[in-house]
Amino acid sequence: MTGDVRGEEHWARKGAVDLFLWRKVLARELLPREGRAGGAAGGRPPIVLVHGSSTSAIPSFDLQVAGQPDYSFMDWLARRGWDVWTLDHEGYGRSTVTDGNSDVSCGADDLAAATPVIAAATGATGLFVYGMSSGALRAGLFAQRAPDVVRRLVLDAFVWTGEGSPTLAKRREGVAEFRASNRRPISRASIESIFLRDLPGTTHPAVMAACAEAQMQLGDSVPTGTYLDMTTHLPLVEPSAIAAPTLIVRGEHDGIATVDDLLAFFRRLPSGDKRFASLPGIAHVSPLGIRRHLLWNAVDEFFAAGLVEDAEGGAA
């Protein structure tokens, strides 16, 4: 599809917490609902992208990099006709910073709070949800809690039990610090190290620097809740409780979860519509990797398959 992609700011309320939502869609889709047919993007469910532990929504999914075009996952999806949303979880980015640690359960609550805002803007009653890293845990738990909302689910850089994970083994060395404080400091160096820990060279240096700069503009600390969950509380998601068709994506070089751990989870998913993709040349932060289009195309194809099934089944 052609046309200008526009951004639109929204806010959700969760008790005393304000949650920042960011929407990207072709400009013609920003007409009032009554002025166009079919709700979100011509009747497609909106896509919600769920960020991880160390970078908030826009640095993760709408990154603009000087001299390196096409690093916004949101823009790429919007140009393919999708109505794309993301949000800063409690304690991240432009959302309210609280005394809490913004753990995985809190993130699932954030998604529940965002759902009626997205519905009001688009007229859609269901969502397609993609989560990355601890965002995949948030997305999976939300799908477990809200099977009537999550129509298709992508879990990228997901971890189930954590057994055999080299990244989590190293991270457990900091458990005492995660328990002692609800926030942990970040720096440009610590953000860039996320792209280097599995296999250097899978992300362009300019992209690492741009992501770190964008994140540091939003603050020099992030919550500890997801780190504590991933090192001491796994498993957090019960595969047998996820009704939605599910795609599990693992970068070839991702140290967050082993293939065996993910396949054990995959086997327990009840849906007959489930897929497992291992993507070559990709490490942990797959949407910003040099070979990111392998992921982007896999997500687009999986979500588009849901539209075909709806049409064949006569769904509205």
**All domains of the chain in start order, with CATH:** 5-313 (3.40.50.1820)
Contact 129, 118 (CB under 8 A): no
Contact 40, 31 (CB under 8 A): no
Tell which residue, 146, 51, 48, 170, has the closest CA to residue 102: 51
Torsion of CA 262, 284, 77, 29, to 10 degrees: 90
Residues 202 and 282: their CA atoms lie apart, in Å, by: 6
> How many other C-beta atoms can be found within 10 angstroms of the C-beta atom of residue 204?
17
Tell me: the pLDDT tens digits for 276-311? 999 999 999 999 999 999 999 999 999 999 998 776
Tell which residue, 157, 158, 154, 156, has the closest CA to residue 306: 154
Does position 38 have pLDDT exceeding 70, yes or no? no
In angstroms, what is the C-alpha Rg of the chain? Answer: 18
Tell me: the pLDDT tens digits for 54-99? 999 999 999 999 999 999 999 999 999 999 999 999 999 999 999 9
